[in-house]
Amino acid sequence: MTTNQTIDGVPLLPCPFCGGEPYGTHDHYVYDDLSPMPCVECQSCSAHLKAEDWNRRVQPAPVAVVLPERSNQDYAIEHAEYMALSADDVLAKFQAYGLALLAVDEGGDDGEGELLENIDSARSNLQESLVELRSMVYEFRKRSAKSR
């Protein structure tokens, strides 16, 4: 049985329980804010479901989306992107470290202890980023070698 009934522009399939003619209504369900939710009711057996569930009940299960197979080259390029981000991070941390050193040279308004603490934390941030970059380069080379 086919029907021309629609709800919110989506054509309705026959009743999943009895095959009867469906119609759209807003009588049975509400959203969290209590505004009426579109739903579907069967003219024959009065079964009703949320609009989103009605068509789902009678449709075959959707076919799993098959992603195109990714090549080793794709993986290498993807990892090159991570490596570039990591390099950007190192550059930013390096710049921050340079600025922290400069602040001591210039003898800013902050106490010297605080300036030295800033240098320490900038240096350890830089070291962390360098360690990450090193592992990114290592991972990239592995993938790059596989793609050849």
Q: List contacts with Zn ion (CB under 5 A).
A: 15, 17-18, 20, 42, 44-45, 47
Q: How far is the CB of 80 from Zn ion (least distance, A)?
A: 57
Tell me the closest approach of the beta carbon of residue 89 to Zn ion, in angstroms. 60
CB of 51 or CB of 122, closer to Zn ion: 51
**Which of 54, 140 has the CB closer to Zn ion?**
54
Question: To the nearest whole angstrom, how small is the minimum distance from the Cβ of residue 84 to Zn ion?
Answer: 58
CB-nearer residue toward Zn ion: 52 or 132: 52
Per-residue 3-state assignment (H helix, E strand, C coil) for the chain: CCCCCEECCEECCCCCCCCCCEEEEEEEEECCCCCEEEEEEECCCCCEEEHHHHHHHHCCCCCCCCCCCCCHHHHHHHHHHHHHHHHHHHHHHHHHHHHHHHHHHCCCCCCHHHHHHHHHHHHHHHHHHHHHHHHHHHHHHHHHHHCC
| Closer residue to Zn ion, CB minimum distance, 59 or 127 | 59
Report how far residue 73's alpha carbon sits from residue 76's, in angstroms, rounded to the nearest whole number. Answer: 5
As measured in angstroms, the least distance from the Cβ of 22 to Zn ion is 8
Nearer to Zn ion by Cβ, of 47 and 87: the residue is 47
Minimum separation from the CB atom of position 36 to Zn ion (A): 21
φ and ψ of 16, to 5 deg: -70, -15
